[in-house]
Amino acid sequence: MEQTFSRQNTGGHIVWLDIVRLIAMFTVVCCHCTDPFNFYPGTSPDIGEIKFWGAVYGAALRPCVPLFVMITGALLLPVRGSSGAFYKKRISRVFFPFLIWSVLYNLFPWFTGLLGVEPRVILDFFPYSGEDVMRQSLAVSLDYMSGIPFNFSILAVHMWYIYLLIGLYLYLPIFSAWVAQASERAKLGFLGLWGVTLLLPYYNEFVAGYLWGTCSWNSFGMLYYFAGFNGYLLLGHYLRHHDWSWRTLLLAGVPMFAVGYAVTFIGFRHMTSLPDCTDEMLELFFTYCSLNVAMMTVPVFMLCKKVEVRSEHLKRMLANLTLCGFGVYMIHYFFTGPSVVLMRMLDVPICIQIPCASVVAFGVSWLLVAAAYRCFGLKTRWVLG
């Protein structure tokens, strides 16, 4: 989702970061194509297989968001120029498209009512939505829209990341001042403490709710200031300047990913099998700021550094995705659900429905955004970022 044009000293793109962006962008679309599987609305004789493949793909796709944050850290740390100029450039670039598309997503059920579309179709688009949206009422849509300053709605679930991204942008100039003067040892020390915090979701779920000073009147524990997505920011910055050999990737990276995936998949399947599984329990092993997801993310990031792209045509396509990526993120959620419905209508085997639907949703989204840029030029940024 980060829109910075990454340039080397020679003025060319950092192609391997474009590769990371492509993987992150496609996997986030693929991740949302798993929602109609993991949150299947209704019953089916194939429900067991549907849930199984939703978990198989859902677990493998967890690096998608951490990769985006690592790209941001790799490109923007340390921040150059004044914080005011940085905020004006970055936040304005994401704020207006975020506001426009949040409104459009929340108005969607009302639009379907005006067009005479069956209310149940809304569930094909938004598996998380409930009975209120099926009323197709303007009042319901306006109620969701009134909450935009405070949080995302069930009709615009993917917008959670934009609140996070704006927060990271606000924090970056402050964090940057330390990053610019910190030694490699100091950065590794920070990442080490951050690594400890990646275990806290499991401590809080399985051991105790409070740790290191947290209690009913204090949510900010000892390592609170080393926790969260700022660790991925620093990790992206740090790993940009370090390489792994193919031997390290094979002997360390592959086992890291395999162990991380096994914990994610088995943990998710276990939690969803519990009769009293809450939303928090369901998401526990899918948590982005967890050790198992970080273990999956690092090898993917380092593998991308090994990719060599010699085709100028492919380089131009990757550069175009850099331009269109934020717009693809804004609109793709309109196409993930219908793409899955299409795969089911075509009788595509359940085991490959998610990747096939992802190709359709990603391709349509990219095509529409690229067409908008071709027709309207840079003015498109105000709507699509």
Does a structural domain hold residue 6?
no
- Burial category of 170 from C-beta neighbours within 10 Å (exposed 0-12, middle 13-18, buried 19 and up): middle
Q: What is the pLDDT along the chain (385 residues), one digit of tens a residue?
A: 544 433 333 345 689 999 999 999 999 999 999 998 988 766 677 888 999 999 999 999 999 999 999 999 999 999 988 889 999 889 988 999 999 999 999 999 999 999 988 888 888 888 878 788 888 899 999 999 999 999 999 999 999 999 999 999 999 999 999 999 999 999 999 999 999 999 999 999 999 999 999 999 999 999 999 999 999 999 999 999 999 999 999 999 999 999 999 999 999 999 999 988 898 999 999 999 999 999 999 999 999 999 988 889 998 999 999 999 999 999 999 999 999 999 999 999 999 999 999 999 999 999 999 999 999 988 899 999 8
- Other C-beta atoms closer than 10 Å to the C-beta of 107 total 17
User: Do residues 30 and 365 touch, judged by C-beta distance below 8 A?
Assistant: no
Residues recorded for the chain = 385
Cα 94 to Cα 1: distance, rounded to the nearest angstrom:
9
Cα 187 to Cα 108: distance, rounded to the nearest angstrom:
45
Residue 4's pLDDT is 41
Does a structural domain hold residue 7?
no
User: Do residues 187 and 195 touch, judged by C-beta distance below 8 A?
Assistant: no
**Structural domains of the chain, count:** 1
Query: Could you tell me which of 302, 322, 318, 301 has the C-alpha nearest to residue 310?
Result: 318
Q: What are the phi and psi torsion angles at 207 (to 5°)? A: -115, -70
Residue with tokens 């306006």: 142
Residue 310's pLDDT is 87
Q: Secondary structure of the chain in the HEC alphabet?
A: CCCCCCECCCCCECHHHHHHHHHHHHHHHHHHHCHHHHCCCCCCCCHHHHHHHHHHHHHHCCCHHHHHHHHHHHHHCCCCCCHHHHHHHHHHHHHHHHHHHHHHHHHHHHHHHHCCCCCCHHHHHCCCCCCHHHHCCHHHHHHHHHCCCCCCCCCCHHHHHHHHHHHHHHHHHHHHHHHHHCCHHHHHHHHHHHHHHCCHHHHHHHCCCCCCCCECCECCCCCHHHCCCHHHHHHHHHHHCCCCCHHHHHHHHHHHHHHHHHHHHHHHHHHHHCCCCCHHHHHHHHCCCCHHHHHHHHHHHHHHCCCCCCCHHHHHHHHHHHHHHHHHHHHCHHHHHHHHHHHHHCCCCHHHHHHHHHHHHHHHHHHHHHHHHHHHHHHHHHHHC
Residue 7's pLDDT is 35
Query: Could you tell me which of 200, 183, 187, 168 has the C-alpha nearest to residue 72?
Result: 168
Residue 12's pLDDT is 52
Does a structural domain hold residue 10?
no
Whether the bond between 78 and the residue before it is cis, its omega within 30 degrees of 0, is: yes
Domain residues for 243? 15-384
Does a structural domain hold residue 355?
yes
Does a structural domain hold residue 363?
yes
Residue 55's pLDDT is 95
Residue 42's pLDDT is 64
Cα 361 to Cα 365: distance, rounded to the nearest angstrom:
6
Residue 172's pLDDT is 95
Does a structural domain hold residue 40?
yes
Does a structural domain hold residue 8?
no
Does a structural domain hold residue 2?
no
